[in-house]
Structure 1
């Protein structure tokens, strides 16, 4: 008989999952450092200093350093001959130094409307004041100081996000168990997966998008939401969710999956506590700005409703392929987007409510992992945010950072992940080629439209493929690497008949 879970140790007492033994791409890549974990290796290794989290953070810091070098040609400003496009180093941080009047010492919202949620506005405002005053003291342009200050703080935010994701996967607790005090052996029945955080640290798009905008700030605030929810601390989860929404609105999309799974489990109170705490935190941050500078505060909401179809969205590709003129009408696209996104959310909600509704698996009764069939929160959050991007009319290049940690939490497998990353890089460089073609049209520079449409379509398709793979693993939980459920037992082979016999073998004599 298979052992019961009461006999199994906690996940923290078991060796962590070795990616080189469970993931084909990781196994191939390990050839660069000596190959997969061997039979005689000590697992886990007896490391004194180079623990998994330190190796992962070092990888992330190297990626951030490469991003810093990649954006360095644009840090000084004064872009000439479209250098921000030819070097693919454009960053909103440097561009908005002047556009938001930070170079004049302006305070966001009070002196100038800001197109970002309040917490991001405060972020840029505080660092803007430091850069402005430092520039006055040293008699130099504060723009480069502003960019480098932002880069340093954003890299700290990125490192924090990597460390928190590592902690989430190292612990890897279940949150789908009934009752207020579930069996600790069941809570820790999933394997420890600390190396999953390497996917975030080594993601190729981080090399080029980490400091395009302030998204790493919002991501660093959103990751503790998943950690504290996993640890059954709903108020703390709500606190960080409220902070994340106040920094970038995409985190608001996490509330739907949270409530759907809570309704399914009939444990609505913790989810409502999280939602209420998030609402209070968001209101406390936004209320002063909304009260004193209402018009500036409303700028973010007005801009999002007024913006036309942006470069590289699915609507842009559809318009380029079909020539459908109605897609130039932002109100028409708004209506289509709302309908398609609403239908997607309904489908994801139904998936969250009904997927995996089985009491057991034949041949596996008594094994607790057979009941680990409910969709995971990160899976549904990934699907909702991806649908928001797939059907939205704005899809900036740095929005890929929103999906990165969610993809790692939802589906920590390297194969499709790297193909998606390749498509994102293809789009990133094609975008700047297109911007060069539009800006320097008379000089015949840049890339043709069909190549840009191809790049944008490949990004759209790969995100859709990632969604399909996540849905597949929700419907077939044994494919989910996070759960690592046992495979279905194969039926026993029939007893071979004696040579020459035409019927069943005779029973043995008593």
Structure 2
């Protein structure tokens, strides 16, 4: 029996066709592929020798091929220091080996022309690998409660501008797979994916903070401990071998980031350019992270209704990105999925994207020196940083408002508008896994507003 017959003859045929047209998966994946093609086209000027700042197509991938010894055949961590966690270095090594399989030659005695050819292959291999990770991000979000929202990721300007600056699509994929596993009530697998994310870039570690608070509030601590155990296990599994083989190579990432001062894009860099440098940016960042995280935890714990997990994650990420010592342009990708999950409104997404886009333009103009000769001087760059910080805080403020007044939350109170103005049922936390519909834990009932 065909699907059309099962649905009821001609009516069923129309419904089956409508299901094809209104299935988000092909459209989201197609839109994501187009966005990625735009991203790759944007990289062409840099491959052809244009100024990386004027063409705004800078990528770490090509210069680090030379600077981190890959062109000489060195293995990250074992033969050369790399300022990234283990899995990012592993991806660099995988790309190097694939480059060699495709005919690229590397080594200290290889002629420069052949090294340049290998470098071009290396860039292409990385672009293909990162495209696979980007598709995984979209695939995971398509399987969450609001699959059409994945379109906001697929067509995001952040993808088309910053997607190939670094290897961040890998950590986005691990993070998204963890969110999907958690939503399907598989906390152990969620932790494993998030642990791999921490082994690629450090920021997924922050996800465990709101997770702990919300699991405590709802009496779901067993799920939290399973996730934490899975995360610790996967992180140790990929880090321990590198540490045993090369302790100094493994430690380089940590010492590099601890010793790093106020750098591009950070609020501390703004103070420095404005003539008011902060002597201890690391200490200031730590202080604000502790205070801000404590405030967020109190909000998640004492809000009139338990917040959604993605809301808590977004607040912690915004705090981290605002007070961090550096804000590389690709960091916008870290925030993108959780902007979509926590505040899925096209208007808000657009305003936030514009603010981030202005900073993207300003950073390259600043590095190129174009703002030095302009009438605005460095003031334009400082203004762009403040605009970026402002839109991030604005999104966070909207999420705080949704937490305090849940009727304003576009996920918990979705409106489906038609000629009859029908309303969808109110939801709790559709991607919250064991948190969705959970009652208040017995030990929280001392607070009257939590009953």
In 2: Cα distance, 1:223 partner to 1:75 partner: 31
Q: Given that residues 75 and 143 in structure 1 are in contact (C-alpha distance below 8 angstroms), is that contact kept between their aligned partners in structure 2?
A: no
Is 1:410 paired with 2:342? yes
Query: Aligned to 1:473, what secondary structure does the other structure show?
Result: helix
Q: 2:392 aligns with which of 463, 487, 490?
A: 463
Gaps of 5+ in 2: 1-13, 107-112, 416-422, 424-451
Measured at CA, do residues 465 and 49 of structure 1 come closer, stay the same or move farther in structure 2, by a change above 3 Å?
Answer: closer
Q: 2:169 aligns with which of 216, 228, 243?
A: 216
Q: 1:96 aligns with which of 64, 88, 99?
A: 64
Say which is worse superposed, 135-144 or 210-219, in terms of deviation.
135-144
In 2: Cα distance, 1:430 partner to 1:324 partner: 21
CA drift at 1:287: 0.3
Query: Aligned to 1:94, what secondary structure does the other structure show?
Result: helix
Q: 2:133 aligns with which of 157, 165, 185?
A: 157
CA drift at 1:166: 1.5
- Equivalent residue runs for 1:58-457 within 5 Å: 58-75=30-47, 79=49, 83-132=51-100, 134-136=103-105, 139=114, 141-168=117-144, 172=145, 193-321=146-274, 323-325=275-277, 327=278, 329=279, 332-356=280-304, 373-437=305-369, 448-457=377-386
CA drift at 1:456: 0.9
Deviations 1:304-343 (A, max 9, x none): 111111112111223334x213x2x3xx111111111111
In 1: Cα distance, 2:95 partner to 2:333 partner: 22
Query: Aligned to 1:247, what secondary structure does the other structure show?
Result: coil
Deviations 1:359-417 (A, max 9, x none): xxxxxxxxxxxxxx320111101110110010111111000000000111111011122
Say which is worse superposed, 217-226 or 128-137, in terms of deviation.
128-137
Q: Given that residues 261 and 282 in structure 2 are in contact (C-alpha distance below 8 angstroms), is that contact kept between their aligned partners in structure 1?
A: no
Aligned-residue CA RMSD (Å): 2.2
Query: Aligned to 1:47, what secondary structure does the other structure show?
Result: helix
In 2: Cα distance, 1:447 partner to 1:280 partner: 51
Structure-2 residue corresponding to 1:495: none
Q: Given that residues 66 and 207 in structure 1 are in contact (C-alpha distance below 8 angstroms), is that contact kept between their aligned partners in structure 2?
A: yes
Q: Given that residues 312 and 456 in structure 1 are in contact (C-alpha distance below 8 angstroms), is that contact kept between their aligned partners in structure 2?
A: yes
Structure-2 residue corresponding to 1:57: 29
With structure 2 as the length reference, what TM-score do the two structures score? 0.83
Q: Given that residues 45 and 55 in structure 2 are in contact (C-alpha distance below 8 angstroms), is that contact kept between their aligned partners in structure 1?
A: yes
In 2: Cα distance, 1:471 partner to 1:230 partner: 22
Query: Aligned to 1:429, what secondary structure does the other structure show?
Result: helix
Larger Rg: 1
Measured at CA, do residues 201 and 104 of structure 1 come closer, stay the same or move farther in structure 2, by a change above 3 Å?
Answer: same
Query: Aligned to 2:105, what secondary structure does the other structure show?
Result: helix
Q: How many correspondences in the alignment?
A: 395
In 2: Cα distance, 1:124 partner to 1:445 partner: 39
Q: Given that residues 191 and 231 in structure 2 are in contact (C-alpha distance below 8 angstroms), is that contact kept between their aligned partners in structure 1?
A: yes
In 2: Cα distance, 1:252 partner to 1:310 partner: 22
Q: Given that residues 108 and 121 in structure 1 are in contact (C-alpha distance below 8 angstroms), is that contact kept between their aligned partners in structure 2?
A: yes
In 2: Cα distance, 1:228 partner to 1:397 partner: 29
Is 1:484 paired with 2:421? no
Deviations 1:220-258 (A, max 9, x none): 011111111111111111111111111110000001111
In 2: Cα distance, 1:67 partner to 1:354 partner: 43
In 1: Cα distance, 2:205 partner to 2:403 partner: 22
CA drift at 1:447: 7.6
In 1: Cα distance, 2:164 partner to 2:375 partner: 23
Gaps of 5+ in 1: 1-41, 173-192, 357-372, 488-510
CA drift at 1:48: 3.2
Query: Aligned to 2:19, what secondary structure does the other structure show?
Result: coil
In 2: Cα distance, 1:427 partner to 1:48 partner: 39
In 1: Cα distance, 2:342 partner to 2:326 partner: 24
Query: Aligned to 1:418, what secondary structure does the other structure show?
Result: helix
CA drift at 1:129: 2.3
Deviations 1:115-151 (A, max 9, x none): 1000110001110122245213995621111111111
In 2: Cα distance, 1:275 partner to 1:43 partner: 44
In 1: Cα distance, 2:242 partner to 2:374 partner: 44
Structure-2 residue corresponding to 1:369: none
Deviations 1:170-193 (A, max 9, x none): xx2xxxxxxxxxxxxxxxxxxxx2
In 1: Cα distance, 2:336 partner to 2:57 partner: 21
In 2: Cα distance, 1:422 partner to 1:44 partner: 38
Say which is worse superposed, 155-164 or 126-135, in terms of deviation.
126-135
